[in-house]
Structure 1
Amino acid sequence: MDRDSQWMTAPADAYRLWQETDAVGADRRPFSARSRIQHAAMFERFLRHLTTKSVTLATFGAAHVESFFADVETRCAPGTTTRLRYGKMLDRLCRHLVEEGIRTENPVTAMAAFERWPEDEPVPLFLDVDSDARLQEWVEPAAGDDARALRNRAIVALFLATGISATELRQAQCDHLSVDGIRPHLEVPKRGPRESRRIPLPPFAIDSLSRWRQTREPDAGDALLFPAPGRGGMVNDVLLGAVVREALEAIGFRAPDMSPRVLRNTFARRQLLDGRSNFDVSRLLGLTSQRTVVRLRATIEQRESILQSVELT
């Protein structure tokens, strides 16, 4: 069962898996084991509320959140931070569901009670220009690469070259990737509210993706581009995270978050530096909101402001 389906059919399991493999706090660090247990219990309480309202994670709105908060507050002592803790948990969840294409909007941050929450959002992590260049060099096939090394370079190359999400990479099929002809590209099918899109492949990714595509030739067509080793089926997020972390460590990059999200942010920021608009970059990412791209553009504007200040002094 893929992660998208699990959010609808077994949401509690999907939430626990997300907490274990991908979710981070405002400091970009994974949550402690104790926090994960607490968050899972809070999430399951929210799920029970949604069930009573006959809505799902994909369809609940601000009114359902407000009614949930009203119920929570009747069971809590005055002056506690329970509402805020639940609100932050739900905001993180909804941002993730929007990012994954399961929802089209985040009803929590639109609520007046949480207008200041963007201040608590983690600063997006990305590779600086020099680190980006080093990783582009790293994905080039090397003499003596075995099948595992070829696969890992191709995985990192595809993340860095296209900005697709981990879910989209897991679902990518051989015939979605075109490395021949004058316009190499990746086709990303429509999924939920995300429209289908075609992402051009930059030159740095072609060699590693071509080599990997050749190893998949007997199983081409609608076979998975990156099947799970040994057992087949979709590769899991734990393996993808390990592959990306290993590549980042190889180029000397260290950060609280070493997940595929960093490469997605790097791709988007590279497009902004190349002059693309917020709308165009959001479309390349498959996002219906420009919020992520606006936050990434802010990092460019902040850097330019600092450089100008240095020049003036």
Structure 2
Amino acid sequence: MDDPTLWLSAPTEAYQKWQRNEAAGADRRVFSPRSIVQHEAMFERFMRHLEAAQRTLATFGPDHLESFFVDVDRRCKPGTTTRLRYQKLLDRLGRHLVDVGVRQTNPAAVYTLTQTWPEDEPTPVYLLEADDRRLQETIIAVDGLDDRASRNRAIVGLLLSTGITAQEIRQAAAVDLDLAPARPHILIPKRGAREARRVNVDGFAVPALVRWRNCAAAAVSPLLFPSPRAGGLMTDEMLGRIVRDELLAIDVRLPDMSPRMLRNTFARRLLLAGRSNDDVMQMMGLSSQRTVIRIRATLPSSPQTADTT
């Protein structure tokens, strides 16, 4: 049993200890290393909300949970299970706080009574093969681009050709991109539970990346794509606008026009080319085949030679 006072004096430390030593899911299985990292980030976000409201884990109530979920809904795309994941996490936390004597009641319990998980996860959004090829052809065309357009073309090219995440491209260091003709690639360092990996860059993205690297704006920061104003990390909002604008330029309109859609397209392209689920999982830095299996389900029916277990 953990120390109840630690939940009030050092809540993040208390959560980490509980998460790594005692906490388990509904099936009583311990959480995977990646889930632990995700849960800790979710807990820290909830704690920031409580701190802003001048509440602790012992004093927050239903109103604070409701305002927190309003913020979660505002920041998350429709159709995702983010809110449900927070509800399950906070209910699990609330039950534990009651067990160790930090609280007398669990205000999050009511949410688990009214919410159910969707029977099917949303179908992944991706570019059809013809649109994928059209976007690649646009990315190759770099003549006459100014610095801003070169940057945008390079960003979309790197996302489409490597399948790296929005966070990974925002944090990418310039020195980790190798455009040597033999095998251009980018190194993605280990972050949290995601292992380091090397991802090859397809040829269609190389001209835009070379042009961006030669721009004066690219030489002032250790980041590959720094924020044009502050010089630090580019925001998710700005990255999303860049991707969306490049898609609209070729008249592509989809429910999801984010970097995630380009990542799905990358994975689907590999599966169409005959790569196995395990190959694609490794190239995307995933710890399970769950996402890849969902994307494989969108392929035309054909005999499968890939492992799907």
TM-score, normalised via structure 1 length: 0.66
Correspondence for 2:301: 304
Q: 2:150 corresponds to which letter in structure 1? A: L
The answer to whether residue 104 in structure 2 is matched with residue 50 in structure 1 is no
- Please tell me whether the aligned partners of residues 194 and 287 of structure 1 are also in contact (alpha carbons under 8 angstroms): yes
What is the CA deviation profile of residues 13-44 of structure 1, one whole-angstrom value per residue up to 9, with x for unaligned ones? 69888754553316xxxx9xxxx9xx59x948
Secondary structure (helix, strand or coil) at the match of 2:254 reads coil
Correspondence for 2:202: 202
- Please tell me whether the aligned partners of residues 141 and 150 of structure 1 are also in contact (alpha carbons under 8 angstroms): no
Q: 1:132 corresponds to which letter in structure 2? A: D
- Please tell me whether the aligned partners of residues 126 and 262 of structure 2 are also in contact (alpha carbons under 8 angstroms): yes
Correspondence for 1:58: none
Higher relative contact order (CA 8 A, sep 6+): 1
Could you tell me how far apart the structure 1 residues matched to 2:209 and 2:155 are?
Answer: 8
Secondary structure (helix, strand or coil) at the match of 1:10 reads helix
Residue 147 of structure 1 deviates from its aligned partner by 1.3
Residue 139 of structure 1 deviates from its aligned partner by 1.3
Change (3 A) 1:297 1:49: closer
Change (3 A) 1:272 1:45: closer
Change (3 A) 1:22 1:208: farther
Could you tell me how far apart the structure 2 residues matched to 1:277 and 1:45 are?
Answer: 33
CA RMSD of aligned residues (A): 3.3
Correspondence for 2:138: 138
Change (3 A) 1:85 1:278: farther
Residue 256 of structure 1 deviates from its aligned partner by 1.2
Q: 2:93 corresponds to which letter in structure 1? A: L
Residue 296 of structure 1 deviates from its aligned partner by 0.8
Correspondence for 2:78: 24
Could you tell me how far apart the structure 2 residues matched to 1:170 and 1:18 are?
Answer: 22
Secondary structure (helix, strand or coil) at the match of 1:122 reads coil
Secondary structure (helix, strand or coil) at the match of 1:136 reads helix
The answer to whether residue 223 in structure 2 is matched with residue 218 in structure 1 is no
Pairs within 5 Å for 1:125-274 = 125-215=125-215, 218-219=219-220, 223-274=222-273
Higher-Rg member (1/2): 2
Could you tell me how far apart the structure 2 residues matched to 1:199 and 1:85 are?
Answer: 43
Correspondence for 2:35: none
What is the CA deviation profile of residues 200-225 of structure 1, one whole-angstrom value per residue up to 9, with x for unaligned ones? 111100000111122266346xx111
What is the CA deviation profile of residues 259-284 of structure 1, one whole-angstrom value per residue up to 9, with x for unaligned ones? 11110000000011111100010111
Change (3 A) 1:46 1:278: closer
Residue 190 of structure 1 deviates from its aligned partner by 0.8
Could you tell me how far apart the structure 1 residues matched to 2:159 and 2:72 are?
Answer: 19
Correspondence for 1:123: 123
- Listed as ranges, the gaps of 5+ residues in structure 1 are 55-69, 77-81, 89-116, 306-313
Could you tell me how far apart the structure 2 residues matched to 1:175 and 1:15 are?
Answer: 40
Correspondence for 2:12: none
Change (3 A) 1:167 1:299: same
Matched residue count = 237
Identity of aligned residues (%): 43
Could you tell me how far apart the structure 2 residues matched to 1:189 and 1:224 are?
Answer: 13
The answer to whether residue 296 in structure 2 is matched with residue 294 in structure 1 is no
Could you tell me how far apart the structure 2 residues matched to 1:51 and 1:83 are?
Answer: 12
Could you tell me how far apart the structure 1 residues matched to 2:165 and 2:188 are?
Answer: 10
Change (3 A) 1:211 1:121: same
Change (3 A) 1:191 1:279: same
Could you tell me how far apart the structure 2 residues matched to 1:288 and 1:51 are?
Answer: 28
Could you tell me how far apart the structure 1 residues matched to 2:225 and 2:123 are?
Answer: 30
What is the CA deviation profile of residues 133-185 of structure 1, one whole-angstrom value per residue up to 9, with x for unaligned ones? 01101112433311111111011001100001101111100011011230100
- Please tell me whether the aligned partners of residues 139 and 205 of structure 1 are also in contact (alpha carbons under 8 angstroms): yes
Could you tell me how far apart the structure 2 residues matched to 1:10 and 1:52 are?
Answer: 19
